[in-house]
Amino acid sequence: MNRRRFLKVLGATSGGAAALSGCGIGPEPTEHLVPYVVPPEDQVPGTATYYATTCRECAAGCGLHAKVREGRVIKLEGNPESPINEGRLCSRGQAALQGLYNPDRITDPMARGPNGEWQKLSWDDAIGRLAGKVKEARGRGIVFLTGLEPGSFGELVDAWVKEVGGRHVTHESFAFEALREGNRRAFGTAAIPLYDFARARYIVSFGADFMETWLSPVGYQNSFTRAHSFDGDRDTLMAKFVFVGPRLSLTGMSADEWIAAKPATEALLALAMAQVILAGRLAPAPLDAGRLERLLPTPQRVAPVVGIAAAEIERLAREFAASQGGLAVGGGVATQYGDGAELLVVAVNILNYVAGQVGKTVRFGPNQAVADAGTFRQLTDLVADLAAGKVELLLVHGANPGHTLPAAFSQALSKVGYKVSFASYWDETAAASDLVLPDLHPLEQWSDSRPRTGIHALQQPVMQPVFPNTMHTGDVLLRVAGKAGTFKDYLQSRWKELHQRVGKGRDFADFWTDALQHGGLYAEAPAQPVRLDPGVVQLLGDVGGAGSGAADEPLLIVFPSLALHDGRGANKPWLQELPDPVSKITWHAWVEVHPETAAKWQLANGDILLLKSPHGTVRAPVWITPGIRPGVLAVPTGQGHKAYGRYAKDRSFNAFELLSDAPASFGGRAFAAPVAVVKTGDHRRLATVEGDAREQGRGIIEVLSLARARELKSGAHPFAEREVPGYAEDAQKAWAEAQHQKASLGDYAGTPPRWGMAIDLSKCTGCSACVTACYAENNLATVGEELVVRRRQMSWMRIERYYTADADGRRVGALVNPMLCQQCGNAPCEPVCPVYAAYHTPDGLNGQVYNRCVGTRYCANNCPYKVRYFNWFNFAEPGGEWESWPDPLNMLLNPDVTVREKGVMEKCTFCVQRIRGAQNRARLEDRSVRDGDITPACAQACPSEAIVFGDLHDRSSLVARLAADPRGYHVHSELNTKPAITYLARVMHGAARGA
Amino acid sequence: MIAGSTPSHQAEIKKVREAWTSKQPPHWIRIHALPGFVRFPHMRHIKILGTESCRTCHGDVRAMPQVHQVATLKMGWCINCHVQRQVGRDCTLCHY
């Protein structure tokens, strides 16, 4: 038996290690090469082309660069020219790819047959049917329900609906009605201004989750970090951030202080702060603010209601005013408790106003388009019309009320004569329709949007449609209306009008091409000064009497999921498998319970509770966390789909079922409800990736107080490497000698670079955009709920979250740390590999040669950071049990990275394919690689720019400078692993918290 | 490159011409294939070895009546050349 035959037998019998090992290069099956007959001019095989377009995963409208290889888009990155996201992108935006290539997309127009079964149609037939129904229903109620469409498509729908005598309703699950209503009452405008976090020096968020789903999370996180990160060279102080809310959200985790005020009393806290500022003349308040002074409640009055000491309120107010750059924002559940929640926004507006910040950190003018979204009341009015049989024809595009308003909408739908859906997936609303006309994915279509005043963002098809028999809804509407031309022509006609106004006499073709290249037109919107509405005085009477406004406990709050949003992300495996940044739970929803409550009710993690609100009942597994106020329970949105494809369907529970179907006073929805809680006695293992909830003093995350950080002189090293114990000295000496010898051999001789990374924990927020970027760049398999429960997730980059508290359990906070391969200089994984698959590269990486690996897993066992991941199954096998990329999801695989097989260990290599790519390019240009040429996927996505990569041997590189920063430390430096990643300690206002 | 002087050459040229007129791409059989876990940057090799260097790996295709593989394209063969020319032979130059 020769070696190859032996391996074959081994492979067949043990089904294990031989898959990728051995020589590998055996006779391959015959492959065919099919060339282009006419090569597209902008596609070079093997070279990526980038197209600028716009993200449509939420209303923020971030600019995208789509990376296209051989005619298929393989990665989405932020467009650095877009003023909204400045080249950064969140997990949801990156996962748009999995919407494009979703295996559950609707591929053809479908109609319900006589027995309710779905039948394929031709487009001519489908459009004919729709046109016939439109004709029939004219005058008998036609309604077009869309998502927020702030651009030409929305205008086309408006015009189309007008022509057929119907009405257009827009629906966004998170439409910020309270914010709009609060601004209207305080300033007389229902617009949503730009909050300039970058210029703020003191930030108070009353529940606003501006890093998750609030308005423009990527842009706000980016500018927040500019204000809130520590930079020793800077003269101004790092801004302080205070988070007020019943639940420590991702946004709250970045806070220097978390105040868990009693639910629904946040407005009183804001007003009392304003009172202190006015009464003490602490800030140059506008003249008309003076008359508020005696109307505002004093800290002494509100303290018992809010549940924090009056002195604390006074301190907050003084700090806010003294910073001369205060910014208060209100949002999240604080504006959605129910009736009267808009008063919080009024209170926050007053606070900003009396501190003289309106016009500075709060700027009306560059207004957010989401203020034009339909309110929840408009949706419920529509549902009432549907239920009353007043609507004969309902068309739905880009909205899924079948999930977000489950009971009421589904019932009402049965009263509608004919329902047409333009969905790309079988969501709940599409499944209940009569005719489905699948739209192109936003990455396949022409469109535009105006996410913020002054910004005209263009959307262009970045590739041919994945499913050729889908059609742009704009084209469908034009054909039904009997209009000539396509939606692209319509779009261009709109842009010609824009060109007339702002084109400055340029040729339109130039103007258009230019806009396409840059992703749109970006102009500064002129500022709009606002004054406090005199009517506020009456409102304050209401608030003053509030106090009784505090909600009863136990109170259940529903918070928006960062990854799944209102549920639209649930059909994308990257987002399902992305650990929630707070709970670290994947693939299912949970209910957050405070340890005291859990002790009282005798609950353990994973116990299933029956949550009964007046509106619905769900079964939810318990997750116990100190990051919630005792007496409050919290559940995320996003799961519990009844349809929506294989990844979303029948997963966990739908939190919307617990909410009232009636709009609150501000026209929005109450995201809180009183609940009765019943223990079921059932239990499940949470699909969590969390190890220990506490850092336990292991030196994984270091924290400095601001005062201490500012004292540090360059060259100081407060986290100096720990002393080597005596018994290890010999070993260290031997190692150093071996290194010396090694450095004279072959590739190791000379001065190769030493790739390194610096991660600034004063910037990292834990948002996990880097995690999704890594999945996209490196072909990481999503393993599914069952394997996550068995701790077999493949995430090369993970965000570790540790809770902190004072000795008495108060002052709870959280710290986060991105953990990836440290590319140790003295790596424990390397010497234990029997086949040299794990080895040290000359440029300082811990290389992992997949085709060499035989799967002993010794390396993973020996890794103190636990950043090596083993392929227990063949995730790439078409049709296999654990298939991670069912057709056509496999089209998003990065051709520059090997797809690993079963039995192989894999890990982060600082995106070695990008390093080699940059080196190849530099070689072609006869130069050496420059600092900044190489950006790993994680660093590129990071909305807070916390990750810096480069050559540590290059003294002038940014990463070398950061590695020498006094705040720098290495995780587990006591193990003498010599990591290439330097973490810069987090800096906090006040005393550093213990772990 | 097909010189075009013999009937068999003419037949091959006809194929290409038909592909162009019918806009149907010809299906070539792939001769030089590397497994999925190897990266080979052509441009970098051509940059160093010159534009006439194709034959180093592909043989003198011009003189071949039908293209066949002349080099094994196995790792040892790659490494031999890298050793002779004293260039890098780190695993992650090609394997990632």
Q: How far is A847 from chain B (nearest CA, A)?
A: 7
- Decide: helix, strand or coil at residue A980: coil
Residue ranges of A 33-72 with Cβ closer than 8 A to chain B: 33-38, 46
Flag if A34 and B25 touch (Cβ within 8 Å). yes
Residue ranges of A 843-882 with Cβ closer than 8 A to chain B: 843, 845, 847, 849-852
The answer to whether A468 contacts chain B (CB < 8 Å) is no
Q: Which two tokens stand for residue A79?
A: 């467009």
Q: Where are the alpha helices (DSSP H) in A74-119?
A: 91-94, 96-100
- The pLDDT of residue A233 is 61
- The pLDDT of residue A543 is 62
Q: Is A857 left (phi over 0), alpha (psi -120 to 50) or beta?
A: left
Percentage of residues of chain A with pLDDT beyond 90: 79
Give the CA diameter of chain B.
Answer: 49
Residue A227 has pLDDT above 70, yes or no: yes
Say how far apart CA A677 and CA A602 lie, in whole Å. Answer: 12
* Bridge pairing between strands A118-120 and A110-112: antiparallel
Q: How far is B5 from chain A (nearest CA, A)?
A: 25
Query: What residue of A is the nearest CA neighbor of B41?
Result: A920
Q: How far is B24 from chain A (nearest CA, A)?
A: 7
Binding-site residues on chain B for chain A (CB distance < 8 A): 19-20, 23-30, 33-37, 39, 41-44, 47, 73-75, 88-93, 95-96
CB pairs under 8 A between A and B: 91
Residue A11: pLDDT band (50, 70, 90) is very low
A47, A747, A894: which to substitute to probe chain B, counting the most B Cβ within 10 Å?
A747
Residues 6+ apart with CB under 8 A from A34: B25, B26, B27, B28
Q: How far is A851 from chain B (nearest CA, A)?
A: 7
Q: How far is A893 from chain B (nearest CA, A)?
A: 12
Query: What residue of B is the nearest CA neighbor of A21?
Result: B37
Establish whether this prediction's ipTM goes over 0.95.
no
Query: DSSP assignment, residue A780?
Result: P
Please give the average per-residue pLDDT across A94-103, as a whole number.
Answer: 97
Query: DSSP assignment, residue A781?
Result: P
Q: How far is B13 from chain A (nearest CA, A)?
A: 15
Backbone dihedral angles phi then psi of residue A92, each to the nearest 5 degrees: -60, -45
- The pLDDT of residue A35 is 83
Q: How far is B7 from chain A (nearest CA, A)?
A: 24
Q: How far apart are the first and last CA of chain A?
A: 59
- Residues of chain B in contact with residue A913, where contact means CB-CB under 8 angstroms, are 39, 96
User: A395 forms bridges with which residues in the sheet?
Assistant: A144, A420
- Residues of chain B in contact with residue A918, where contact means CB-CB under 8 angstroms, are none
- The pLDDT of residue A723 is 61
- The pLDDT of residue A67 is 96
Considering CB atoms only, which of A20, A38, A909 is closest to B96? A909
Query: DSSP assignment, residue A622?
Result: E
Of A262-271, A778-787, A860-869, B57-66, the one with minimum mean pLDDT is: B57-66
Flag if B29 and A33 touch (Cβ within 8 Å). yes
Residues of chain A with CATH 3.40.228.10: 177-368
- Tell which wins on pLDDT, A495 or B26: A495
Query: What residue of B is the nearest CA neighbor of A916?
Result: B93
Please give the average per-residue pLDDT across A192-217, as a whole number.
Answer: 95
Residues of chain A with CATH 3.40.50.740: 110-170+372-451+455-522
Query: DSSP assignment, residue A20?
Result: G
Query: What residue of A is the nearest CA neighbor of B20?
Result: A37
Say how far apart CA A203 and CA A652 lie, in whole Å. Answer: 36
- The pLDDT of residue A646 is 95
The answer to whether A909 contacts chain B (CB < 8 Å) is yes
Question: What long-range pairs does A914-918 form, CB within 8 A, spacing at least 24?
Answer: A914/A777, A915/A755, A915/A843, A916/B39, A916/B41, A916/B92, A916/B93, A916/B96
The answer to whether A117 contacts chain B (CB < 8 Å) is no
Please give the average per-residue pLDDT across A330-343, as a whole number.
Answer: 90
Contact A549, A342 (CB under 8 A): no
Q: A706, A772, A944, A871: which is closest to A75 by C-alpha?
A: A772
Residue A19: pLDDT band (50, 70, 90) is very low
Q: What is the mean pLDDT of chain A?
A: 91
Q: How far is A725 from chain B (nearest CA, A)?
A: 34
Please give the average per-residue pLDDT across B45-72, as a whole number.
Answer: 90
Residues of chain A with CATH 3.30.70.20: 703-988
Say how far apart CA A53 and CA A295 lie, in whole Å. Answer: 50
Residue A921 has pLDDT above 90, yes or no: yes
- The pLDDT of residue A724 is 66
Backbone dihedral angles phi then psi of residue A975, each to the nearest 5 degrees: -85, 0
Q: How many Cβ atoms from other residues are within 10 Å of residue A713's Cβ?
A: 7
CATH of domain A110-170+372-451+455-522: 3.40.50.740
Query: In what helix (H) or strand (E) does residue A574 lie, and over which residues does it extend?
Result: helix A573-577
Query: What residue of A is the nearest CA neighbor of B87?
Result: A747
Residue A18: pLDDT band (50, 70, 90) is very low
Query: What residue of A is the nearest CA neighbor of B74?
Result: A25
Say how far apart CA A918 and CA A911 lie, in whole Å. Answer: 11
- The pLDDT of residue A743 is 73
- The pLDDT of residue A534 is 87
Flag if A747 and B30 touch (Cβ within 8 Å). no
Residue A15 has pLDDT above 50, yes or no: no
Residues 6+ apart with CB under 8 A from A535: A185
* Domain limits, chain B: 1-30, 31-93
The answer to whether A890 contacts chain B (CB < 8 Å) is no
Contact A823, A844 (CB under 8 A): yes
- The pLDDT of residue A315 is 96
Q: How many Cβ atoms from other residues are within 10 Å of residue A48's Cβ?
A: 18
Query: DSSP assignment, residue A641?
Result: B
Please give the average per-residue pLDDT across A235-258, as a whole number.
Answer: 91
- The pLDDT of residue B62 is 85
- The pLDDT of residue A4 is 41
Query: In what helix (H) or strand (E) does residue A609 lie, and over which residues does it extend?
Result: strand A607-612
pLDDT digit string, tens, across residues A539-576: 776 665 554 456 667 899 999 999 999 999 999 999 99
- Residues of chain B in contact with residue A38, where contact means CB-CB under 8 angstroms, are 23
Please give the average per-residue pLDDT across A258-265, as a whole number.
Answer: 91
The answer to whether A31 contacts chain B (CB < 8 Å) is yes
Residue A711: pLDDT band (50, 70, 90) is confident
Please give the average per-residue pLDDT across A95-103, as a whole number.
Answer: 97
Residues 6+ apart with CB under 8 A from A606: A621, A622, A683, A684, A685, A686
Q: Which two tokens stand for residue A459?
A: 């959307």
Residues 6+ apart with CB under 8 A from A835: A21, A852, A853, A854, A856
Residues of chain A with CATH 2.40.40.20: 552-683
Considering CB atoms only, which of B24, B26, B92 is closest to A912? B92
Residue A407 has pLDDT above 60, yes or no: yes
Contact A823, A981 (CB under 8 A): yes
Question: A299: cis peptide before it, omega within 30°?
Answer: no
- Which strands sit side by side in the sheet containing A591-593, from one edge to the other? A672-674, A555-559, A632-636, A591-593, A617-624, A607-612, A676-683
Considering CB atoms only, which of A28, A31, A849 is closest to B91? A849
Query: In what helix (H) or strand (E) does residue A677 lie, and over which residues does it extend?
Result: strand A676-683
Q: A458, A457, A561, A562: which is closest to A84 by C-alpha?
A: A457
Residue A877 has pLDDT above 80, yes or no: yes
Q: How many Cβ atoms from other residues are within 10 Å of residue B76's Cβ?
A: 8
Residue A349 has pLDDT above 60, yes or no: yes
- Residues of chain A in contact with residue B47, where contact means CB-CB under 8 angstroms, are 923-924
Flag if B95 and A746 touch (Cβ within 8 Å). no
Flag if B29 and A34 touch (Cβ within 8 Å). no
Residue A994 has pLDDT above 50, yes or no: no
- The pLDDT of residue A807 is 80
Flag if A850 and B37 touch (Cβ within 8 Å). yes
Please give the average per-residue pLDDT across A912-919, as a whole number.
Answer: 95
Q: A601, A617, A603: which is closest to A556 by C-alpha?
A: A617
Flag if A36 and B39 touch (Cβ within 8 Å). no
CATH architecture of A552-683: Beta Barrel (2.40)
Q: Which two tokens stand for residue A672?
A: 């809180």
Q: Is A494 exposed, middle or buried (0-12, 13-18, 19+ CB in 10 A)?
A: middle
pLDDT digit string, tens, across residues A757-809: 999 999 999 999 999 999 999 999 999 999 999 999 999 999 999 999 988 77
Compute CA A8 distance to the chain's CA centroid, rounded to the nearest angstrom.
Answer: 45
- The CATH class of A177-368 is alpha beta
Q: How far is A900 from chain B (nearest CA, A)?
A: 9
Query: What residue of A is the nearest CA neighbor of B94?
Result: A916
Say how far apart CA B19 and CA B27 lie, in whole Å. Answer: 10
Flag if A28 and B33 touch (Cβ within 8 Å). yes
Please give the average per-residue pLDDT across A870-886, as a whole number.
Answer: 94
Flag if B90 and A747 touch (Cβ within 8 Å). yes
Q: How many Cβ atoms from other residues are within 10 Å of residue A602's Cβ?
A: 8
Q: How far is B1 from chain A (nearest CA, A)?
A: 16
CATH of domain A703-988: 3.30.70.20
Extended strands (E) in A124-283: 142-146, 167-170, 194-195, 202-206, 240-244, 257-259
